[in-house]
Each structure stands twice: as structure tokens, then as C-alpha cells.
Amino acid sequence: MGKKKKVKALPRKRPVHRVNVTYTMEERSKILVKMTPEQQEAYTASIQLTFSDRVMNTVFEEAPHWKFVGIQVDYGWEYRKTHPEKSANLKCVCGRQLRYQYQLISTDGRHRRINLGSSHFM
């Protein structure tokens, strides 16, 4: 009889623990400023998915000639007063400065663009 081969034990996979964390506005701003352009792009894409067509259809039942086309994020929002050069200076159609700018385009054939803040969806 020959020697038995010694079999290595497979490493155990650790369970993944998902934790819900709530950041303050200041903590969130510090994280957003440190993101690479690729991370910012992924973050913006995830926001756009969250702001779904279903929600937009509900909001725009009264104004069906508008289509949601994108979101712009001001990653320098916290610094808009102290270091305005770090801010994207996003504005709403009403003139208000925005952290999240929702972009809409008209579907009536004129292709008008409008930029709004979240307060216009309430």
C-alpha cells in the first residue's frame, strides 16, 4: 500500500455582515470629496437608478411632457461658501443652489431642458 495524500482543508468563508450606517451630512461630504472620478460616476449612476422611472411617472402625471434624463451631483457642496472653486455651483430653475440637480427634457418635440431640485417634487 502507498502513502495517502494529505488533503489541505479549504479556508472557511467568513459570513458577510451588512450593517446599516447613517452618516452625518459632514461625514458624507468628506467621503464624497475624496472619491475618484470613477467612484463619483458610479455613485451618480446608483442615484439615477434609485430615482426610478416609476417615481418620475408618479411625479409627472400632471406634466406628462417631461422625461427624467439625469442627475448632477455637487461633490464640493460643503465648500460652496468657504471655497466656491471646489463647488460645481449647480442651480435650480428657481435660482436655488443645489447639491443634487435633477435634469429633465421635454418630450413635446421642442427638447427643452430644465434643471430642478428635490423640493419641486414634493
**pLDDT tens digit sequence for 31-87:** 888 889 899 888 887 777 666 555 565 555 656 788 888 888 898 888 888 888 888
Q: Residue 32: which of 78, 90, 88 has the closest Cα?
A: 78
Q: What one-letter code names the amino acid at 7?
A: V
Predicted TM-score of the model (pTM):
0.57
Residue 110: phi and psi, rounded to 5, are -90, -15
Radius of gyration for the alpha carbons in the chain, expressed in angstroms and rounded: 23
Helix, strand or coil for residue 101?
strand
At 112, the pLDDT band (50, 70, 90 cuts) reads confident
| pLDDT above 80 for 122 | no
Do residues 75 and 35 lie in contact, with contact meaning Cβ atoms separated by under 8 Å? yes
The predicted structure's pLDDT at residue 79: 84
